Structure 1
């Protein structure tokens, strides 16, 4: 009996170890493509750098594209998929209509298909491009685990994203739903130190804050005046297209396309553009973190790298899950989406 029990226990242990090894083998890892496509990171970096030299706002665009991808169905490149006759893709959802830098990913996709066709996922291309964009803009350069696979489903109905007008509590609930915490929230918002912002994302703060008919009283007067001059109270619609002005996300820095810790200075001095950024100054934990990051940029950069790696690990597909899309805009089997299409309104 003891021998039988021992053999059964041994068999169970071996099975568990093998399962653990398989899971580990299928997880993300640094230099995942070292043998299958050794130049992948060089190619991605070169393409991003070319676009960055022509347009310094590219890093912010790539970072936002990556964030929006990871928050819907995980980091599976689904935000890159175009709509078809029988499916409306997530990029058509209102929060995604202002996304850009798709052309950067398209070029990376083309170059990598020449180098090693069918090997590198679009999800990894996007994650690497966002990482390289941050580094080119002055942010941290960090080793990024890769090995993501691409999703085959992208529907408008799935695109639920945190709003820039959220409170910290509302934003935290959204972050916690994808296994990110308050430190990640406070840290990742630091990316708002660079780039551009559409007036529509904060116009209520300028004229009708929370339905009061007045501006947000927490906004510093000079910043409020500047933004009111650039963002009229009523957005103009021409041929059913809303003309939405664009301003610098960073109103306190002379280098609006540089990645740094200036968002926290803006928040603590009531000069943040977005409501969620300004809210950081008004809760106990986030205000302490904001002060720490404002006073110690090295601490911020170090944590930003950690939070970006954590963001890039949300809901990833690995191993034999998903696919490696040959064209980032189209699933390999174009009918994959049709059975899951949902044309109803967002909930």
Structure 2
């Protein structure tokens, strides 16, 4: 154990567990029951209006929630705009976040402010909007715990190393998720969000043209799928070209993502590795054949994700404008 004693390790685990328990107690589903009783209907209506304008609303909002929670916790810090270009959203790993996700939350916040000014945090609105877009795409309905407050820190320098990369192996993925009290099954379930949305050629080009000296194409890729990707993403293609994460049902929240992994059609290394590694393969196979099991695991994982690093009580603030600190 090196410098750490078993006694110290046990104490640390107890402290972490106690912190998690306190956080769970502070977030409740009906937090705004008296202060803003129509909150969920207001947010849902706003999200539906935005969705009617563009489907991108769905994957953009879902991805925004994940990126927010993994850096500084679920505190809407990713929404802050900085004239100096040094806020969280300006970090390299966040530059690809679609503007429709930000717009979804900003418009929902405006709608809420018209009815309940200064009451509901942007962090809670983002959590509710994320639930709504999952449902709009055909995914499961679930209740959202509320009571988060908005963070007071948003720095681009704090992002690097805190978000999973497309080239991560299973150990890197499980280690990063475990740091947020998310298990292997939680990680696999949350990866299922890749059933929606798109990525860009430069994020996976190495799997097509320079995977290894002996095999330019990643051998874990289905040959037919690899050829489709090469046709869509020839070398030196404009990096802005978008490719659906799920080539089969890209606009439906379902378990086809896992069926794709079984078939060798995971877009990222970090996707396909979930099937090629023996530790995670059984869960992938199970989710691929049982959509209800995946949905249940996704709800559990999203609830746990929504508790990561939350500010409650007197911590943080309730922003008037989601893109700016109050002072």
Please indicate, yes or no, whether the TM-score normalized by the shorter chain is above 0.5.
yes
- Residue 283 of structure 1 and its aligned partner are, at CA, apart by 1.7
**Helix, strand or coil for the counterpart of 1:223?**
helix
Paired residue secondary structure (1:127): helix
Given that 2:24 and 2:307 are in contact with CA atoms closer than 8 Å, whether structure 1 keeps it comes out as no
1:127 deviates by 0.7
Deviation readout 1:115-172 (Å, 9 max, x if unpaired):
1111000000111101110011011110110000000110011113110110111111
Confirm or deny: 8 A CA contact 1:26 1:318 kept in the other structure: no
Cα 1:127–1:210, aligned 2, differ >3 Å: closer, same or farther? farther
Work out whether 1:77 is the aligned partner of 2:76. Answer: yes
TM-score, with normalisation over the residues of structure 2? Answer: 0.89
Change (3 A) 1:62 1:211: farther
Q: Are 1:250 and 1:263, in contact at CA under 8 Å, matched by a contact in 2?
A: yes
Counterpart Cα distance in 1 of 2:117 and 2:155: 27
> Which residue does 1:103 correspond to in 2?
103
Q: CA deviation at 1:200?
A: 1.9
The 5 Å alignment of 1:161-176 reads: 161-176=163-178
CA distance in 2 between counterparts of 1:205 and 1:46 reads 41
Note if contact 1:69-1:76 (Cα within 8 Å) is conserved in structure 2. Answer: yes
Compare CA radii of gyration and give the structure with the larger one: 1
Q: Report how far residue 32 of structure 1 moved.
A: 0.8
Classify 1:122/1:212 alpha carbon distance in 2 versus 1 (closer, same or farther; 3 Å). Answer: farther
Trace 1:194-233 onto structure 2 (pairs within 5 A).
Answer: 194-210=196-212, 214-233=216-235
**Alpha-carbon separation, structure 2, partners of 1:294 and 1:169:** 22
Distance 2:214 2:87 in 1: 36
Does 34-43 or 47-56 show the bigger shift?
47-56
Two-structure CA RMSD over aligned residues (Å): 1.9
* Structure 2 Cα separation of the partners of residues 165 and 138 of structure 1: 29
Residue 63 of structure 1 is matched in structure 2 by 62
Partner residue, 2:245: 249
Match of 1:10 in 2: none
Q: Specify the SS of the correspondent of 1:30.
A: coil
Map 1:138-177 onto structure 2 (within 5 A).
Answer: 138-159=138-159, 160-177=162-179
Contact 2:105 2:125 in 1 (8 A): yes
Please report how far the alpha carbon of residue 84 of structure 1 lies from its aligned counterpart in structure 2 after TM superposition: 3.2
The equivalent position to 1:266 in structure 2, one of 260, 265, 279, is: 260
Partner residue of 1:184? 186
Mapping 1:18-29, distance limit 5 Å: 27-29=26-28
**Structure 1 stretch 306-315 or stretch 92-101: which is displaced more?**
92-101
CA contact (8 A) 1:57 1:196 kept: no
Per the normalisation by structure 1, the TM-score is 0.84
Residues 121 and 148 in structure 1, CA contact (< 8 A), matched pair in contact too: yes
* 1:233-269 alpha-carbon deviations (Å, 9 max, x no partner): 2244xxxxxx421011112x2x311000011111111
Change beyond 3 A, Cα 1:55–1:25: closer
Aligned pair count? 305
In structure 2, the gaps of 5 or more residues are 1-18
